[in-house]
C-alpha cells in the first residue's frame, strides 16, 4: 500500500479543483473543461465512444482495484403478488433485457449477453474489482470519509 489514506489525500489536495454535491455536477464541470480528471465510472468512456462516437476519453487503471457500484432489482418480502415479482425478476435476467443494459444504463449487465458486450466495455474493464460486505463497508465508511474531509478541509 505504501502511503496511508490521509497522507494520500493530503498529497492530492492541491490538485483537486473542487468537489460537487453529486456525480452529474462534477461530470458537467469536467465536460466543460474545468478539470482534466473526474471521479466517474470506468464505463464513462464507452458512453462517449458509442453514443457520441468520440474516442477521446479513457478510464485510468488503478492497480489496487476499482470499487463496484451495484444496482439491483429485488422482490419485497411483504409483496402480495410474489408470482408476478418472480416473473418480473426472471424477465429482467433474459437476454433481451440484459443486452440493452450496457447502452441504456451505461453499466455492466448482470448476465453477459449472448452477443457479448459492446465496444469499450471490455477494453476498459478494470483488472481488479473490489467489493465489501455491507458490514465491512459500514465499519470503514466513517473513518474513510473523516480522513477525506480532514485532509481536504485544510
Partner 1 sequence: MRAGGGLGAADLAALRFTLTQAALSALFACALAIPLARALARRDFPGRGAFVMLLGAPFLLPTIVAVMGLLALFGRGGLLNGALAALGLPPVSIYGLHGVVLAHVFLNLPLATRLLLLGWSAIPAERFRLAASLGAPVGALIERPMLRATLPGAFAAIFALCLTSFAVALILGGGPRATTLELALYQAIRFEADFAAAASLALLQYALCGAAALAAWRLARAPLTGAGLGRPVERWDAQGAGLRLLDALIIAAGVLFVILPLALVLLRGLDGLAEMPPSVRGAAGRSLLVALAATAIALGLALALALRGGPLAEGAGALPLAASSLVLGTGLLLLIRPHLPLQAAALPVAALLDGLLALPFALRALRPALREAEARHGRLATALGITGWRRLRILILPLARPALGFAGGLAAALSAGSLGAIALYAGEGQATLPLLMARLMGAYRMEAAAGVALLLLALAFGLFAVFDLWGRGGRHARA
- Which residues are near partner 1 by CB under 8 A? 16-25, 27-29, 31-35, 44, 47-48, 51, 106, 142, 146, 148-149, 152-154
Q: In what helix (H) or strand (E) does residue 130 lie, and over which residues does it extend?
A: strand 129-130
CB closer to partner 1, 1 vs 18: 18
Give least dist CB 114 to partner 1, A. Answer: 26
- In angstroms, give the least distance from the CB of 28 to partner 1: 5
- Min dist. Cβ of residue 18 to partner 1 (A): 5
Q: Which is nearer to partner 1, 35 or 97 (CB)?
A: 35
Report how far apart the first and last C-alpha atoms of the chain are (Å, whole number). Answer: 24
- Nearer Cβ to partner 1, position 32 or 64? 32
Cβ distance to partner 1 smaller for residue 93 or 145: 145
127 class by beta-carbon count within 10 Å (0-12 exposed, 13-18 middle, 19+ buried): exposed
30 neighbors 59 (Cβ within 8 angstroms): no
- For the bound state, the minimum distance from the C-beta of residue 34 to partner 1, rounded and expressed in Å, comes to 5
For residue 7, the surrounding DSSP H or E stretch is helix 5-13
d(CA 64, CA 125): 14
Amino acid at each position: 500500500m505504501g502511503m496511508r489514506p490521509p497522507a494520500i489525500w493530503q498529497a492530492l489536495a492541491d490538485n483537486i479543483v473542487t468537489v460537487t454535491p453529486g456525480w452529474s455536477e462534477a461530470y458537467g464541470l469536467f465536460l466543460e473543461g474545468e478539470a482534466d480528471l473526474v471521479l466517474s465510472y470506468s464505463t464513462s468512456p464507452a458512453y462517449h465512444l458509442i453514443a457520441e462516437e468520440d474516442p477521446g476519453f479513457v478510464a485510468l487503471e488503478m492497480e489496487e482495484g476499482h470499487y463496484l457500484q451495484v444496482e439491483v432489482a429485488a422482490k419485497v418480502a411483504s409483496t402480495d403478488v410474489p408470482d408476478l415479482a418472480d416473473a418480473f425478476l426472471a424477465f429482467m435476467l433474459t437476454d433481451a433485457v440484459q443486452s440493452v443494459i450496457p447502452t441504456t444504463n451505461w453499466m455492466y449487465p448482470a448476465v453477459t449477453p449472448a452477443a457479448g458486450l459492446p465496444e469499450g466495455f471490455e477494453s476498459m474493464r478494470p483488472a481488479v474489482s473490489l467489493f465489501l460486505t455491507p458490514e465491512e463497508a459500514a465499519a470503514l465508511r466513517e473513518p474513510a470519509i473523516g480522513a477525506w474531509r480532514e485532509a481536504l478541509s485544510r
